[in-house]
Structure 1
């Protein structure tokens, strides 16, 4: 299952440059993950200070 970013996101941007497939981008109020591109590696979650990325 692809990851998604919860409302806990503080828009720090730590996850975006770490994604190996570049599926994370800035949204209006939080970052978003393109579920069609996500490879479910969990790297975004491992660098997030608030554990906002979670598996669906």
Structure 2
């Protein structure tokens, strides 16, 4: 990770959801296997966030 990269964590995803979709912020978040150069956070089921 370089100095300009942001580490994507479940806490960051939750904070972003709280700002942008507060109705989803209370749901369970877990990281799942992602592709090269990105990963996916699952928010309950079936919503997901790719990064």
Q: TM-score, normalised by structure 2?
A: 0.24
| Larger RCO (CA within 8 A; separation ≥ 6) | 1
Larger radius of gyration: 2
Structure in which a larger fraction of residues adopt helix? 2
Q: TM-score, normalised by structure 1?
A: 0.24
